[in-house]
Amino acid sequence: MGGFRFPVKVKNPTCYVNARVLRDNFKREMAAENEVTIQALKYIARNTALPSRARLEAQLQLTTMPNYTRMNTVKDRCVFSGHARGIIKEFRINRYQFREKALAGELPGVRKGSW
């Protein structure tokens, strides 16, 4: 696929794939790769026992890192539809897909409640 600013990799071929899903997967991978570096820089920047010059350098390195390496840019998306709203985190699907799959009996341990 051309036109993307990042490498295109699809781990699960059964899921719905669009540009948003691909971008979110890329952000997840980059955030995981840079997690140790970011944590170390945050520790240095917040440690008051260190000299202020070292703390400032760590803070500058943090701010110059690309936005897609930050974990707060990652958005949960439904693995079946790619939808970003109404996600049930335990199943990683949105509420509409959850209802359909639960009524069809495709989700283990989930059944329709009746009282």
- Could you tell me the pTM of the whole model? 0.67
Interval 46-66: pLDDT, tens: 999 999 999 999 999 999 998
Distances (CA, A) of 111 to 15, 57, 74, 87, 104: 23, 54, 30, 18, 9
Interval 72-102: pLDDT, tens: 888 888 888 888 899 998 988 899 999 999 9
